[in-house]
Amino acid sequence: MAKITLDDLRHSYMPNPTAEDDWALKQLDVDWEDGGAYALLGPSGCGKTTLLNIISGLLRPSHGRVLFDGKDVTDLPPDQRHIAQVFQFPVVYDTMTVYDNLAFPLRNRGVAEADVDKRVREIAELTDLTETLNVRAAGLTADGKQKISLGRGLVRTDVNVVMFDEPLTVIDPHLKWQLRSKLKELHQRVGVTMIYVTHDQIEALTFADQVVVMNLGEVVQIGTPVDLFERPQHTFVGHFIGSPGMNVMPCEVSGGNAYVNGVRVEAANAHACAADAKGLEIGVRPEFVSFADDGLPVRVTKVSDAGRFQIVDASHDGGSIKLLVAEGDEIPADTAKLKFDSAHTQVYDGGWIVGAKGGAA
Amino acid sequence: MNKTVNQKAWLFVVPVVLLVAFNAIIPLMTVVNYSVQETFGDNTFFWAGVLWFEQVLNSERFHDSLMRQIIFTATILAIEVPLGVAIALTMPRKGVWVPVCLVLMALPLLIPWNVVGAMWNIFALPEIGLLGRMLNGIGFDYNFTRQPEDAWFTLILMDVWHWTSLVVLLSYAGLVSIPDAYYQAAKIDGAGGWAIFRHIQLPKMKRVLTIAILLRFMDSFMIYTEAVVLTGGGPGNSTTLLSIDLVKIALGQFDLGPAAAMSLIYFLIILLVSWVFYTLMMRNEQQ
């Protein structure tokens, strides 16, 4: 077990990166606490897997260091870092039995057979593999194989961190939920640091205590699921997390008040804006927009029923805006006025939240 | 409910039936026909029963060529399969050298068989061939036209040169189909080179290797052109393999009955061995 520190980390797949776009990972300074459950969330191609491979030692970063408990491991190969990784597609040794699969990492390290047996049975119990121990691994279903991969990681007693690279991609939908709860349960029982890479916000938010949102090779926000929802540090986080995503529209700020199309709207951090700032945007989640007697004038263009609530599309002079209305609530037929919940409305400058410039920049 | 029966569908299988008939069934039945009859020319035939089969199976000559054939096939398999796998393992999996290696590997397979035989014949001639001169130059008494061991050595060397590429290409195809994650997982699990080969690469190559071994078994068991051009079965009968012997009986001595019987026995041996081998490999797969 260990605390993982990424110090001034950058990586490029090119030999001589020059332009900003040449970097697959731009600049990372992150601390992962020992025993935490982290999710790395971001769209495809944002550098999640690159980062994971750097932590596991499969890839050497072009710049910066990786520290486990303060010890520099940047140049150590994967097998000496005491990490475990579960891949997107199940990796099992087909010709071996489940038992031999689980024993493989221990036997490679020369552990005595009696200890191997004890440990394998323990882990098999944890991962629900006891009944299939003597079956050939090739005969298992995808979720069984992912459990073997996980078990092979956990079987070593010295494991620092278990990493998951989109481990549920090939799992049937009805088993995804089960396996995810199993992971969560294992995290609580074993207490080892886990890093879970995914582009699925539900997986990330349900698995992790702390979610690291990445975009275009940089970390845009690290926070609890609640943080990400209520106070997105970047408009990208607002868009990417939540369904439907955050509304973002151009605005102006003067005298500590925000204006959209000349109409004053509430915003938590409007007072923090520089008076002459240009290109400001205001962001508010559909959950925090409601109809009111007074506010931003809009025309309702579409209503879609999503079961327990209705998603209303409304248009104003500068674009469109979405809001959620509880099921059964009345929706104005044509023109209406909207009000934003001031505590959950933020002004963004160049994509980043104004005032408390958090996250990595 | 009445099912509509439409016999027109048969028309669609006629082409393939005709093709298979002319291609395989009719020639094979001709051979069967010869194998159970005696003929003295003039197109007159007498029933001979299993006489020819008994004669062939009891003949010293057949035993000798069969034995030579088995030794030849076993030797080239024992060399070509491990060598092919070893070469495939050392070939680059990414980069500019991949196409270069693949083309170099494929070259021997593109040369017509009789040209291969002629090439090696000239190459190995003790007086004028590069190989022959060299071997003699460094002190070996090498002459494949006179010494049986030298003839065997040259024959096997030629086959290895000609056909190892096939094993290489098939094994390579099996190797490159292994996802990177397997190697990464092996690294994390602390597996060494041998463990990676034994538990990842070999199992993943099993299917293609089965095919490679089958193809090499069948082809080498039927080898004719290269061998006949290289040694003509000599010196003496020392490299007279089954097919060479068969041609000698059929076209040299014109003993059509025994030749036909021998063809069928020959065919059944190949069929039986291939079937047993394939069944064993596939049964393993299912367990």
Write the residue in A56, A95, A96 that is nearest to B188 by C-beta.
Answer: A56
Helices and strands per DSSP (H, E), number in chain A: 9, 22
- Can you state the angle between helices B256-286 and B51-58, rounded to 10 degrees? 70
For residues A213 and A42, is the Cβ–Cβ distance under 8 A?
yes
pLDDT in tens, A212-246: 888 888 888 888 888 888 888 888 888 888 888 88
Residues of B in contact with A84 (CB under 8 A): 188
Half-sphere exposure of B148 (CA within 13 A, CB side): 6
pLDDT over threshold 70, residue B285: no
Same fold, A4-14+21-236 and A247-353: no
Average pLDDT score, chain A: 83
Residues of A in contact with B199 (CB under 8 A): 93, 95-96, 104
pLDDT in tens, B200-230: 898 888 888 988 999 999 999 988 888 888 8
pLDDT in tens, A159-211: 888 888 888 888 888 888 888 888 888 888 888 888 888 888 888 888 888 88
Residue B1's pLDDT is what? 59
**CATH dotted code for A4-14+21-236:** 3.40.50.300
Q: Which residue has the higher pLDDT, B75 or A114?
A: B75
**CATH dotted code for A247-353:** 2.40.50.140
Average pLDDT score, chain B: 87
pLDDT in tens, A286-315: 888 888 888 888 888 888 888 888 888 888
Interface test with B, best of A93, A96, A158 (most B CBs within 10 A): A93
Superfamily of domain B59-286 in CATH is: MetI-like (1.10.3720.10)
Residue A1's pLDDT is what? 57
Q: Are strands A319-326 and A263-265 parallel, antiparallel or unpaired?
A: unpaired
Residues of A with CB under 8 A from a CB of B: 53, 56, 58, 77-79, 83-85, 87-89, 91, 93-96, 104-105, 108-109, 136, 149, 152-153
Query: Mean pLDDT across the stretch A249-271?
Result: 81
Which secondary structure element, helix H or strand E, spans residue A283, and what is its range?
A: strand A280-284
d(CA B251, CA B266): 17
Which pLDDT band, with edges at 50, 70 and 90, does B87 fall under? very high
DSSP SS3 for B159: helix
For residues B151 and B239, is the Cβ–Cβ distance under 8 A?
yes
Question: Which of B155, B162, B67, B182 has its CA nearest to residue B113?
Answer: B162
**Is B191 in Cβ contact with A108 (below 8 Å)?**
yes
Question: Which of B222, B241, B242 has its CA nearest to residue B231?
Answer: B241
Residue with tokens 């056909």: B163
- Please, which residues bridge with residue A221 across strands? A213
**Is A58 in Cβ contact with B182 (below 8 Å)?**
no
Question: Which of A164, A157, A144 has its CA nearest to residue A92?
Answer: A144
pLDDT over threshold 60, residue B284: yes
d(CA A152, CA A261): 58
d(CA A264, CA A257): 7
Q: Which amino acid is at B37?
A: Q
Residue B169's pLDDT is what? 93
* DSSP category for residue B8: T
Residues in chain B: 287
Query: Mean pLDDT across the stretch B178-193?
Result: 85
Which chain B residue has its CA at the smallest distance from A102's CA?
B189
Residue A184's pLDDT is what? 84
d(CA B77, CA B166): 12
- How high is the ipTM of this complex? 0.72
Residue B80's pLDDT is what? 94
